[in-house]
Amino acid sequence: MTQSSLFEIRELSLPGVLLITPKIFSDVRGYAEVAYNTEEFAALGIMTDFKQDFRSYSVKNVIRGLHFQRAPYMQDKLVHCTQGEILDVAADCDPASATFGAYTSAMLTVGNHLMLYIPGKYAHGFCVTSDTAIVEYKMGGKYSPEYAKGIPWNDPLLHIIWPTSNPILSEQDKSWQPLTHKS
């Protein structure tokens, strides 16, 4: 575990995937937190030059993902849930990787304030477990449709344990091809 004056960071089971806990400043009025600070993140080893902020609103049992972009347009992500709760997932879909087919996950809620940093080499997705959720994330790199890829939410190689067996999916997320097994 690594700490700064504003954040505590713990690496999860995939190298580089970080669970970030911001320091909460609370009093009788409520609370405040710093969701991102370039200098603090750099001091903790996160050097991503974030290019855009993205926000989604979803209803219960929506799964968005698993999405990624191939080089040279990989996108690091810093994800947090600002309303409701989600199961956030990062998966290794690179056959050349030692952790190919592995995934890690974390529950992100408006109440626990946790954020997940996901390097661009991993696929990312989430499932809404509350009635509704708003998910906000910073993205490094630009969106490039010709490099955008995905894998099925229920890919047999990954064996992700999702909190729903009947998700609501986009047409695009229904069309992804499964990973092939590592030989």
Residues designated as active site = 67, 137
The residues near 173 (Cβ < 8 Å, ≥ 6 apart) are 63, 64, 65, 150, 152, 153
Q: How many residues belong to the chain?
A: 183
Rounded to an integer, what distance in angstroms lies between the CA atom of residue 19 and that of residue 155? 24
Structure tokens at 48: 């991503």
Rounded to an integer, what distance in angstroms lies between the CA atom of residue 78 and that of residue 7? 13
